[in-house]
Structure 1
Amino acid sequence: MRHKSFAEMDCPIARTLDTVGEWWSLLIVRDALHGLSRFDEFQQSLGISSNSLTRRLAELCDAGLLTRHRYQERPPRDEYRLTARGRDLQPVVEALAGWGRRHVTRGRGGVRLLDAATGATADPVLVDRTTGKPVNTSDFRYVATRSASPVKRGKMPRS
């Protein structure tokens, strides 16, 4: 079932959710980050119906997150590879995974991100590119821009 579109909202989170907010979409991106690329691999990993997977893959390709590559002509079979735009979702996927390990699964999960050089388990955090400081609610604050909704402009300081 398709929910309301956020395409007209002037919010990067809402507009991003319009593209990848359907729950199967981020799970497909997660699996692609883990090296899965073929329809049957995604279906086996996710337990998703063929029709739903076909729709999701087409939407992710249309959004420029995946590209389709034919690897067999008879019968025709394609594989799906992340684009640079799709790979840019890795920090988002890792942030969700980290939050889930801390607050939902108590550390469980079948896949871990490791430092390629040391083999140590990674614990990703969001940091400010300029200062290198971890982003948190104590050291950073939100401010409203001119395009913020009236309720937010009334609650938040202005930039």
Structure 2
Amino acid sequence: MGKQKQAEFCPVARTLDVVGDRWSLLIVRDAFDGIRRFGEFQRNLGIARNILSDRLQKLVEAGVLEVAPASDGTAYQEYLLTARGRDLFTVVVGLRQWGEHHLYVKGEARSSLVEADSGKPVPQLVLRRRDGSALKPEETVVRKVQP
């Protein structure tokens, strides 16, 4: 089985086909921050209109975003996260926390993710074993699909 065929069975590869480029993930991040309109995405990201239009269309086709009439009754449309899109929250938080840990020096200014009701920092994501203990990468194995 060739490498290309094996990629068909890899959930990571399939996920990257949907949200694996910088702009798609930043659009999803902004949607979590409450951005809904084309112009808001464009201003916040500084992205070219044609690229934004393409990525929004792909995210809608993939079921990550849905198009809805503007909530304020204007003629605009809004892009809203679907349940599938909201399921990316852990992925976005994981990327954020990895960046906080590895790409900033102590005391360097950066945005922070906090719980809305308490204002406290969101706890570090940790995968857990069934017994509740932390799960390490070396304690897992991928069961590959066999030809």
User: Which residue matches 1:22?
Assistant: 21
More helix by share: 2
Cα distance between partner residues in 2 of 1:63 and 1:108: 35
TM-score, normalized by length of structure 1? 0.76
User: Which residue matches 2:110?
Assistant: 109
- Residue 38 in structure 1 maps to residue 22 in structure 2: no
TM-score, normalized by length of structure 2? 0.82
User: Which residue matches 2:122?
Assistant: 122
- Residue 142 in structure 1 maps to residue 140 in structure 2: yes
| Long gaps (5+) in structure 2 | none
Does the 8 Å contact 2:129/2:135 carry over to 1? no
Identity %: 41
Against the structure 1 CA distance between its residues 125 and 48, is the aligned structure 2 distance closer, same or farther, given a 3 Å change threshold? same
Cα distance between partner residues in 2 of 1:39 and 1:105: 31
Between the two proteins, the alignment pairs up a number of residues equal to 139
Cα distance between partner residues in 2 of 1:116 and 1:134: 26
- Which 4+ stretches in 1 moved above 6 angstroms? none
Cα distance between partner residues in 1 of 2:18 and 2:143: 24
Q: What are the within-5 Å matches in structure 2 for residues 4-83 of structure 1?
A: 9-71=8-70, 72-73=74-75, 77-83=76-82
RMSD: 2.4
Cα distance between partner residues in 1 of 2:30 and 2:6: 26
